[in-house]
Structure 1
Amino acid sequence: MKTLALLTIISLFGISTSLAQEITVNGIVSDERNIPLPSATIIIKGTTIGISTDFDGVFEIKASVGDTLQFNYVGYKSVEKIVTSNPQMNVSLHPDVHLEEVVVTALGIKRSKTSVVEALSGKASGLAVSSDDTFKKISKSVYNAQINHSQLTAGEINDLKKWNEWKDLLKEEQFFNLKTKWGFGLTDKIEVHVLNEIKQPVSNVLVKLFNDDLQLIMAARTDINGKTVLFKDVFEEEANTCYTIQMIENGRVIGKRLLGDETKIEFTSKTQNNANAVDIMFTIDATGSMGDEINYLKAELANIINRVDASIKQKRLALTFYRDFGDAYVTKAFNFSVDISKIQKNLMMQNAGGGGDYEEAVEEALKVSLNQDWNTNSNAKLLFLLLDAPPHFTQENVVLIKKEIQLAQEKGIKIIPIVASGANKDVEFLMRFFSVSTNGTYVFLTDDSGIGNKHLKASTKDFKVEKLNDLIVRLIETYSVVKV
């Protein structure tokens, strides 16, 4: 009897183990026309575990045999599939003619009536998923996975060129408070111009600003036009009467004292520009809140990559995607490469997911991006930072971000933020600090395209609405090609 009982227990244990067997389920989610659905969500029913498909509709999720997977996509009927021992699971979703807004939470799926027209026009509030590595929000359903470029619209504010407006803005309470919060100054600038002996601009020359105690305030590099802007108060107000600027090249150090309220200074370099190269980094927030625009952004960036000026001898591109701590990943980096097709492939494989709170790991993204293999001899180094949320505010992050800004300045990397829908004034102001301090410019998406959630109205007197891809190509050429 004991032997029989033992065998029974062993048998039952074996059955239990079999039922609890965990496998990796993979497959493709597509529509009734067999077109892949990017960013469809897959949730293990009754749990908070879930993922979303990539640009090609491909997914991979760990689940136990017997679990039920729920497949959801805005504008389509939900489908449930039971996990078997077969890891392959391809799923076809069909449009829901009586579309309901879908909100996925840890407790299941809730629905509230809305029309197909509202959902497809971006008026429905979309899909919110609280589990890791899934959409937090999608406000516009993309019925066809093939998205064309030249749809997103944007504006630009170059605060270095609109300096008086910038200084007036800094006096406004909200902006002033944020300036104090993050410890930026950026009100007292000095323009440095470096030319060679035949009056041609010299790029990538290191210049440094010291106070009267010979303490380093800021180091930067000249751009393609032989210019850079230094700030006496880059991070805080400086109470100094005397300043020194040094130009460092090939072991030579040339110093000049600033006289009185002098705001412009010129150096003569013995160096000739030999390099004809540009490094371009796209650092992209890939959390769920970017879900309403990220596939459009990918289409725009793919177009931009193909259009970089052919006169530039060497073009290298890199990508950094980031989310937040606790997500499937914090940062995912693809280092610089001259293989454009490889960069495009890596770009298209990414999707939005994760997040949870408003702030994201911006500081980690900057750290990873700035420490990639930047070409020290490039005429131009551009970091486009696409995001809709600020970094977490802690004193540790304040110190870290200041160090990252200093590193960008010293390497000559211009930070060019591109702010998407959902951003608030804190995001705008902080990103404008990033751009001004690194001699970059500020870019923001607008409502003119009708794509995505509502976009923040920028604090400026005037700006020109452009197609985002045209604007970025224009900026790349402006900062990379000498106009004669």
Structure 2
Amino acid sequence: MHKLLLSTLLFLVTGWATAQQRTIRGRVIDAADRTPLPGVAIALEGGAFGTTTDAKGQFKLTIPLASKTLLASYIGYVTQSVNVPAATDSVLIRLVADGKSLNEVVITGYATAAKREVMGSVATVPGSRRAPAPGSAHYSTAAITPGRSVYVTVTPDREAGQLTAGEIHDYSKWTLWGDIAQKELRDYRTLWRVAPAERYSVQVVSANGFPLIDVPVRLFDNQRHLIWETRTDNTGRSELWANLFQPADSTATNRVKGKVSAEAVVAGKTYTLNRLSPFGKGDNTLTIEQPCGDAAQTVDVAFVVDATGSMGDEISYLKAELTDVISRAKQAAPNSTIRLGSVFYRDRGEQYLTRHNDFTTQPDSAVAFIKNQEAMGGGDYPEAVDTALAVALTKLTWSPTAKTRLLFLVLDAPPHDDAAAIASLQRSVAKAAAMGIRLIPLAASGIDKSTEYLLRSMALGTNGTYVFLTDDSGIGNPHIKPTTDQYTVEKLNALLVRLIAKFTQTTDCQPPTVANVPNATPPVRYTEQGQPVDSTAAPAPTFRYFPNPTRDYLTIENTTAIDELFVMDITGKVLMRETPNRPVARLDMQTYPTGTYLFRFNATQRWQAGRFILHR
């Protein structure tokens, strides 16, 4: 498993081309509101060439001359097949929201995981597991800079795009998380002494209504004792926790009780918000009396990888996947400075405990370091996860100001569970939150339910998300299915690129646009329908919503009563839940910052979705 991961972080090579090629340029927009879609996966049918759209929804892809069909796929939308005749060099693609994928937020029982192919073809292996059939070498795209593509030759059995994975964003399933943490996963709270339950969410906005990014925010109890600290994310939102860690002594009385308050520090000035409401019981918004300023454009991405022998079943594949992710990171976060760092770790008493390569803006340097690592040692089940995290947080030079900081923790075994190791983990989670670093665990084969609970708790504590490999690729040892209602299976490289894209997307003090068309902003806009080629597209919507853009309220009118409705930010985090029980819902967006939002609702057992812009 370790070898897979290391291989993924490895390459970035020079170009390959033949004379029999042509370049296709295009733009991808939402069919309903015509807004550009960044981070959309564009692939040649068959999976040989691919790229992703930039912040303006634009892409450029060089393909063989005879190729005619492109696939455009994006989470939450119907995958569309696009015919590109030989005489065509530009395309406009309209993607339609996929109603079938909307049960991602259904807070019901724990059904069998739903699987959907998101990018290219994901090989589902029914019955017995099998390794992918070897084939001839092919080429995968590696976008180094916008507008320039190069091609990477990968060995047949270690090419990117073979591993399959899923994501559970517990912030988008908050009610469900509370349910399973109290039931199926309850016993592990005592072992790891962590319980993400008492959550306070604070939105920080500028005087002109834009989200403020990377702002330090602190949570205090009624005695002014510091409880938690973090920094606002790319949507201007901060996640704060009370009583996240449980004391080793179950009789301890130092738990936070009573009213709490929050303060944010911007340009040396402190802004205070008294008497916070727990998440779901009221809005907490801090308005900073100064205009939106230019945010830092730095994006720090670190990979912390278990390099013990147990990772050997997947590590070479993971190297190929991570290499591909590195090559595409720049396109996932256009106009950003990408810094890459890594830490490899083993266990106590091994040849080495940790090795690290500090942040660099040179992808080939990051790839070379990863390529030189091997999976060896281990022996017992737990590994030095606590030490690796401590090294990643203290030895890597994280940017003091950044748009986003991401730490991907790749592992197939839990940390040690002695008191010292658990205390170290708690310190690292708190430190990562204070530094504004999202922890994104990537669970490989060997992870058990106890470790799943710990990793999901660490992700919640740092505003991250949980990623896990699945058996659908037929690669490696068996992988457990996570405790949840449903999840989507994606190719691992596409999933990681999507996460980088969604966690770096910002307004940059500019309101999103409904359409790149003059005078295309009528006071009332209704849902528009595209014509996707995919025959499995959802039926026509039964609702309309207006105005879009809106400055304060959004009205949704359906033909039947709306039973349950969710509003989410661009990362998929649930911000609001309503139960109108009538055909019309009116959403109050006055406390939220300028940006792009999603809504999903259930009516007569059918989920439907829309996308709208708030411009305050």
TM-score by length of 1: 0.69
Cα distance in 2 between the residues matched to 1:468 and 1:120: 18
Indicate whether 1:342 and 2:365 are aligned: yes
Counterpart of 1:138?
A: none
CA 1:291/1:260 → structure 2, altered by over 3 Å: closer, same or farther?
closer
The one-letter amino acid of 1:248's match is V
1:295–1:351 CA contact under 8 A, matched in 2: no
Indicate whether 1:315 and 2:343 are aligned: no
| Range with bigger deviation, 469-478 or 259-268 | 259-268
Indicate whether 1:167 and 2:173 are aligned: no
Superposed, 1:185-196 pairs within 5 Å as 185-196=195-206
CA 1:259/1:299 → structure 2, altered by over 3 Å: closer, same or farther?
closer
RMSD over aligned CA atoms reads 2.3
Cα distance in 2 between the residues matched to 1:405 and 1:344: 27
Indicate whether 1:265 and 2:289 are aligned: no
* Post-superposition CA distance 1:64-93 (Å, at most 9, x none): xxxxxxxxxxxxxxxxxxxxxxxxxxxxxx
Cα distance in 1 between the residues matched to 2:314 and 2:225: 45
* Post-superposition CA distance 1:254-312 (Å, at most 9, x none): 11112565543111233623311100000000111100000000000000001114313
Within the candidate set 353, 373, 376, 1:330 is matched to 353
- Identical aligned residues as a percent: 38
* Post-superposition CA distance 1:159-209 (Å, at most 9, x none): 111001100011125x22211222212112111111112111111000000
Counterpart of 2:270?
A: 253
Indicate whether 1:357 and 2:377 are aligned: no
Counterpart of 2:500?
A: 476
Cα distance in 2 between the residues matched to 1:422 and 1:211: 40
Greater relative contact order (Cα < 8 A, sep 6+): 2
Unaligned runs of 5+ in 2: 4-9, 12-127, 133-154, 247-253, 513-616
Indicate whether 1:461 and 2:485 are aligned: yes
Cα distance in 2 between the residues matched to 1:260 and 1:284: 38
Indicate whether 1:383 and 2:407 are aligned: yes
Cα distance in 2 between the residues matched to 1:325 and 1:447: 30
Counterpart of 1:280?
A: 301
CA 1:148/1:352 → structure 2, altered by over 3 Å: closer, same or farther?
same
The one-letter amino acid of 1:257's match is N
1:388–1:422 CA contact under 8 A, matched in 2: yes
Counterpart of 2:225?
A: 215
The one-letter amino acid of 2:462's match is T
Counterpart of 2:321?
A: 300
Within the candidate set 186, 191, 196, 1:176 is matched to 186
The one-letter amino acid of 1:343's match is A
| C-alpha deviation, 1:327, in angstroms | 1.1
1:301–1:469 CA contact under 8 A, matched in 2: yes
* Post-superposition CA distance 1:189-248 (Å, at most 9, x none): 111111112111111000000111211110000011101211222224945221110111
CA 1:327/1:239 → structure 2, altered by over 3 Å: closer, same or farther?
closer
Match of 1:478, SS?
helix
Cα distance in 1 between the residues matched to 2:464 and 2:422: 20
1:277–1:312 CA contact under 8 A, matched in 2: no
Cα distance in 2 between the residues matched to 1:147 and 1:355: 24
Indicate whether 1:433 and 2:457 are aligned: yes
Counterpart of 1:202?
A: 212
Cα distance in 2 between the residues matched to 1:148 and 1:239: 50
Unaligned runs of 5+ in 1: 1-37, 40-54, 57-117, 123-143
2:129–2:474 CA contact under 8 A, matched in 1: no
Match of 1:308, SS?
helix
Match of 2:171, SS?
coil
* Post-superposition CA distance 1:117-152 (Å, at most 9, x none): x99849xxxxxxxxxxxxxxxxxxxxx686100000
CA 1:198/1:285 → structure 2, altered by over 3 Å: closer, same or farther?
same
Counterpart of 1:243?
A: 260
Counterpart of 2:140?
A: none
CA 1:384/1:241 → structure 2, altered by over 3 Å: closer, same or farther?
same
* Post-superposition CA distance 1:85-106 (Å, at most 9, x none): xxxxxxxxxxxxxxxxxxxxxx
CA 1:121/1:156 → structure 2, altered by over 3 Å: closer, same or farther?
closer
* Bigger Rg, which one: 1
Match of 2:178, SS?
helix
Superposed, 1:416-431 pairs within 5 Å as 416-431=440-455
2:296–2:401 CA contact under 8 A, matched in 1: yes
- Displaced runs of 4+ in structure 1, greater than 6 A? none
Cα distance in 1 between the residues matched to 2:403 and 2:131: 43
Counterpart of 1:93?
A: none
Cα distance in 1 between the residues matched to 2:344 and 2:456: 21
Cα distance in 2 between the residues matched to 1:264 and 1:323: 44
